Structure formats: C-alpha cells, structure tokens
Structure 1
Amino acid sequence: MVFLLIALLVVAVLHAYVWKRLVLDVARTPRFRKAGTIALAVLAVLLVAALVLPRRIGIDAARWIVWPGYLWFAVLFYLFVVLLVLEIPRLVANRWPKAKATDESRRLFLARGAAVVAAVAAPATVGAGMVSALSAPDVKRFTVPIRRLDPSFAGFRIAVVSDIHLGPILGRAHTERLVRMINETQPDLVAMVGDLADGTVEELGHAAEPLRDLVSREGTFFVTGNHEYYSGHQQWITELERLGLHYLRNTRTPITRAGKTFDLAGITDVTGKQFDDGPDVVGALRGRDETTPAVLLAHQPVQVTDAARAGVDLQLSGHTHGGQLYPFHHVVGLAQPAVSGLSKVDDTWLYVTNGAGFWGPPVRVGAAPDITVLELASAPIIR
C-alpha cells in the first residue's frame, strides 16, 4: 500500500509537470487546453489502471490495459526527463536582453520548441528501449578470482539469472528462451537470484514450467526476491521445488569436486522481514569450514554489507535491473552499493546482473537484459 501511494504521487507529479509544459505553456485557445487536459487525464487513468488492475482482476484479464498503460508510463518518464533538461536553455533564453514587446512571443516560441523536441525524443527513446527489452538477453562472461578456491574448481561456471518477471507481458515463451540460452552456456551450476514472477502460481505456473529443463552438473539453486513476497512466496517456493530447483533459505550446501568443496549459500530477501521470513547470513554460514570459499545468493546488492562481515567471497545479486530506464540508475545508486556488473566491497566480490526481464514498462534504456556466466578462478591470498 505504501509503495502504491508513492507510485500514485509520482504519477500525479509527472502528469502535472508535463501538462504545464505541453498544454498550459503552448496552448493559446481554451479548446486546445481542454483537449490536452482531457487527453492527459485519460492517459493518467490508463497508467493507474495498469498498476492496479492485474492484482484486482487477474493477469489475463488485465493484459489489454497493461501494454498501453505501461508504454505511456515510459513515454511520460522521458517527456519529463527531456523537458527537465530543456529547462536550462529555456531559462537562459527567456532572460536574454530583448525588447519587452517580444517577450511573450519569445516565451511561446521557446515553449513550443521544447514541446516539439520532447514529443519527438521521448517516443523515439521508448521505441528503441522496447527493442532492447524484448530482444534476447546479452550473455556476459566474467572471470572472478576467489581466495582459498581449490585449483580443481578453476573454470567452474555459474550461470546467473535474475528478475525474469513473468507477468502480463512476459510469459512462457520468455522462459523457454532463457532456458535455451542458459543451457547453451553449459554451466556447472545455475543461480536464480529472485523476482521470477509478478503474479500467483495459478496465473503464471504454466509460464514457469520450462525451468524444469535447465541443465547443469550441480543443478539450479534459487532464493526469493521482493516480488516473490508480493506474489505468494510459499506457493512459488513449492512450485519451483516441484520443478526440480533447490531452494536456499538462509542455509548453505557444499559443492564438491575432486574431494574439495566450496559453500554455496542463499538468504531470503530483505522484504521477507515483513513476512516473518527475514534474511540471516550469519545463520546461513554458521558452522562452515572457513578455510573454504563461500558464494552467496542474495537478491539485493545492499545485502553485501552483512555478507562482507560474514566473510563471503562472492555475492550474486539482481534487483536493480541496471537502472532499466536511463538515467534512473542514478536514483538506484543512492539505495544500492552497486547497480550493475562486478565490483568489490571489502574482501567480497559483488556481481549484480541487469536481470533478464523488466518491471513495468517493456522498455530498457542503457541497461540491456542479460544472463551472466561467472567463471571461478583460484587466487592467492595476499598477506
């Protein structure tokens, strides 16, 4: 409810600003202003309906409203961004010394010029972003040096996938494509780090079924993301285990090769605290042999703070979508220690995938979807 109220407030502010710049500032007749106001009001209702209706009337029934509603959300966002950027040149031009008789005409010319630029740039950006979001994910590859990793694990491949976000737009075909792409990388282990679906098992279980076809030597392991808790996490856990995936709920399991091991651990998402299912990295690692490495699955990058204190060598996360809509990644970076890619927090490596799906608008700008293969390498301990 709090999230919904914040979202509605943001929607209201964006529409008010866009109405001011695209209707009030450029219209000189009551008829045009009325038409523009009605059009924006209808689009605002459409957007709110896209946010609310899937949970009220079901995903299948809401598909017809979700596509146009979320696409307008993306166009609205980029109208806001472009118009905001144009505020600076407009302000400078409006203050430039000119005869007073021309002030009003100049302001109107600048307002209409900004409106035209925004009206062209925003839909063009959203169109390119749709192509990115709906295309096959990129396959990224990184090598990560791990302290204390036995040489027998050199070249061990972990396929990382997150934020698949099955829902009213992405369905079974999306899952089938991801499974095919992951299997083609021939991983030793598959790590799913949360946010599989935006709906119930009853609605989306059929779309998730292809996950049973994931193939790797050690199997597929998963943890909860925040959206699992919005969609009935216990049912999804049961369903994924039925499909042959292994759930890591604040626990660990040894991965063994040639008599040597490393610990694979997983913790619940921080949202789980609201459902009496909070993360416990200390409990997950309790009693382990600290001379062997630990790899942790944790949906949100922010959980790396606790992971570093606990001596985790590598944390695998998602959640951020890489920002999804540039320049929104700057906002995400205020809440998370990393938005995308490989970084380090103290002695702990942190890898954050952009995710393989999207939330809300089927649009990605500056943050293409991805699947990542991390290849482990042994690294000497520097004293």
Structure 2
Amino acid sequence: MIAGDIFDNEYDAIYEPDRVADLLAGLKSRYGTYACYGNHDLDEKILAGFTFETKEERIADRRFGEFLDRAKIHLLEDDVVCIDDAFYLAGRKDPDRIRKTQETRDTPSELLTGLDQSLPVFVIDHQPSELTELAEAGADLDLGGHTHDGQLFPGNILTGLMWENACGMKKVGDMYSIVTSGVGLWGPPMRIGTKAEVVIIDYGK
C-alpha cells in the first residue's frame, strides 16, 4: 500500500518512466498493490522543491494515471474494495489536491457506510487527519504519510505539535493509525535527524 505522493509535482521529473513503471509492476504481492494520491501528485511548477499557491484550477496530468496502470498499482480515490472476502481497503482523496483541482471528497462516514463491520476495515489516507472521525466511522487501521517526520531537525518536533500522529503508531479509539516518514523528500534533498523508511506491519494472530 502506497499512501500518496507517488510523484513529485511533475511527470517529467521521472527518469525513464516506462522502465520505472515496469519495475514497479514486478512487485510480488498476494493481493496486489494499492495507492491513494497525495498533495504532490499533481502537475505543478516547483522552485527548489517548493510549490506556490495560485488561484488557477489545476488539472491532473493524465500520464500519472497511465503510469500507475502500467505499474499495476490500483488507485483508490474515495473507493472501497473488498479483498478476498477477508477485509476492506479504502483509499481517500487528498484534501489539498482536491482543493486545487476543485473536486470533492467523501467524509469518513460517507466513505465507510454500509460495510460489513465484522470484517477488518483498512484505510489509506495521505494526510493523517480526521483520525477520530475515521475511527468512529468503523476503520480499524489508517495508513498515512505526508509529514516526512519533519525531515529536517527540528522539523520533527514541530510536526509532532501539528499532527495527532506525526509518525509511528498511535491508537485512536478502536483504530490504529500508522504514519510513515516515507522514502522521498520535500524541498531540500536531505534528511537531518529523521530516517526514510518502508513500513512493514506484521500482524500476529
């Protein structure tokens, strides 16, 4: 599961995109690879890694979706799938991205209503927000990213003040929130006092 920010604001920043997509398509997974979009999964002008606000409506680059199709990554945009009759997986739209594209997104209750609550409900949501609302709507696990764990010290201290769960695992109601610092970067191409990571969740019976 990939919790957003798959791209870095412009498709042409990908070196040999077809080759990268084919490599990703080779990932071996019992149930497949799923993702949601993040706030940087939108074609925007950047300067030194930073984007700037504009009143113009942004239009998503169709090549992002074509890349994911070739990479065999299933994109969930306010969608819920039942996998192997064993669990649900929901993917949310990113609030910053839809604000720029002038779309809407479902609330947690709208997204998760009508599900068989006897099955586990997993959610991928780029920004670790609305955790209480997701828990109350019946989510058992919410997977996010976005914060980079601050990326540069003392940013990790600041993100800890800004987000209910800025990095790591936290229980919210009956739901677990897991937020990864991710493998990518934002702004300066460096990390100080934080680590890049791919999270492995090992559920022991």
Retained in 1: the 8 A contact 2:181–2:195? Answer: yes
RMSD in angstroms over aligned alpha carbons? Answer: 1.9
Cα deviation, residue 371, structure 1: 0.5
Pairing 1:169-248 to 2, within 5 Å after superposition: 191-204=1-14, 206-207=16-17, 208-209=20-21, 210-231=23-44, 232=60, 234-248=62-76
User: Counterpart in 1 of 2:192?
Assistant: 365
The CA deviation string for residues 15-66 of structure 1, in whole angstroms up to 9 with x for no partner, is xxxxxxxxxxxxxxxxxxxxxxxxxxxxxxxxxxxxxxxxxxxxxxxxxxxx
Retained in 1: the 8 A contact 2:11–2:43? Answer: no
Retained in 1: the 8 A contact 2:10–2:42? Answer: no
Alignment equivalent of 2:109, drawn from 270, 282, 288: 282
Alignment equivalent of 2:177, drawn from 326, 350, 358: 350
- 1:300 maps to a residue whose letter is Q
Which segment is superposed worse, 353-362 or 234-243? 234-243
What TM-score comes out, normalization by structure 1 length? 0.45
Q: Does residue 266 of the first structure (1) align with residue 70 of the second (2)?
A: no
User: Counterpart in 2 of 1:339?
Assistant: 166
Runs of 4+ that moved beyond 4 A: none
Retained in 2: the 8 A contact 1:266–1:297? Answer: yes
Gaps in structure 1 of 5+ consecutive residues: 1-190, 379-383
The CA deviation string for residues 129-176 of structure 1, in whole angstroms up to 9 with x for no partner, is xxxxxxxxxxxxxxxxxxxxxxxxxxxxxxxxxxxxxxxxxxxxxxxx
Q: Using the alignment, how far apart are the partners of 2:103 and 2:145 within structure 1?
A: 19
Count of matched residue pairs? 185
Identity %: 33
Cα deviation, residue 344, structure 1: 1.1
Cα deviation, residue 233, structure 1: 5.4
Distance change >3 Å, CA 328–CA 283, structure 1 → 2: same
Which segment is superposed worse, 327-336 or 306-315? 327-336
Q: Larger C-alpha radius of gyration, 1 or 2?
A: 1
Cα deviation, residue 239, structure 1: 2.0
Cα deviation, residue 230, structure 1: 4.5
Q: Using the alignment, how far apart are the partners of 1:269 and 1:227 within structure 2?
A: 10
Distance change >3 Å, CA 243–CA 205, structure 1 → 2: farther
Gaps in structure 2 of 5+ consecutive residues: 45-59
The CA deviation string for residues 93-125 of structure 1, in whole angstroms up to 9 with x for no partner, is xxxxxxxxxxxxxxxxxxxxxxxxxxxxxxxxx
Cα deviation, residue 293, structure 1: 1.2
Pairing 1:30-179 to 2, within 5 Å after superposition: none
Q: Which has the higher contact order (CA 8 A, sep 6+)?
A: 1
Retained in 1: the 8 A contact 2:135–2:172? Answer: yes
